[in-house]
Amino acid sequence: MFKDLFSSYINFDYYNLNLNKIIKTILTLKKEDPKGRRISNNGGWQSDCFTQIKKPFETLFDNINKSILIVEKKLNLTNKLILDNYWCNINYLGSFNKPHRHNKSIVSGVYYVKVPKNSGEIVFTQPYFLASSEKVSQFNQYNSKIWTVAPEENKCILFPSYLEHYVESNLNKKERISISFNYDF
């Protein structure tokens, strides 16, 4: 029997939330702090980290907490994962996020609020020795060096915090808006 030893995971969920209120709140946060912070973002805006859930994000995190329960069960965790922090992102035309990890957490994620076409996919990477076309007849989730996920409005992606990832450049004149977060014990 083939076993997937030490694998990473990506969990997807879709929520049916009122995105207009969330967008308005994020744009207000940007207006209050126009420079934002620079972590992995290049050319975009990123809010400070928040540890307390602000309005109107309560319903979003109620949904994320339900998705986190699924990951807890899959990982057979004995401790409950709790929200460590979250922040808001706006990627403008040409903006992208450099490769990075969220090393101080267990589970990280992103929730997509506004996603115009060609606004940049999230790309997960791994240092894998088979990742060349001469050694593999067809790439899949076991042998690929990269795995891309297309953003969609109301889509939430959860992944292990150690998994390196980056976000491709936004090629659209409209901004892509997302909320990123970390869960820990």
CATH (domain of 176)? 2.60.120.620
Q: Which residues pair with 180 in a beta bridge?
A: 87, 110
Rounded to whole angstroms, the Cα distance separating 147 from 4 reads 16
- Structure pTM? 0.93
58 domain-assigned: yes
Which DSSP string corresponds to 127-164? --TT-STTT-SS--TTT-SEEEE---TTEEEEEETTS-
Number of domains into which the chain is organized: 1
pLDDT tens, the chain, 185 aa long: 655 655 678 899 999 999 999 999 999 999 999 999 999 999 999 999 999 999 999 999 999 999 999 999 999 999 999 999 999 999 999 999 999 999 999 999 999 999 999 999 999 987 765 555 677 788 777 777 888 999 999 999 999 999 999 999 999 999 999 999 999 99
Look up residue 48 and give its two tokens. 């400070």
Containing structural domain, residue 45: 11-117+151-184
135 domain-assigned: no
Q: Do 84 and 51 form a contact (C-beta atoms < 8 A)?
A: yes
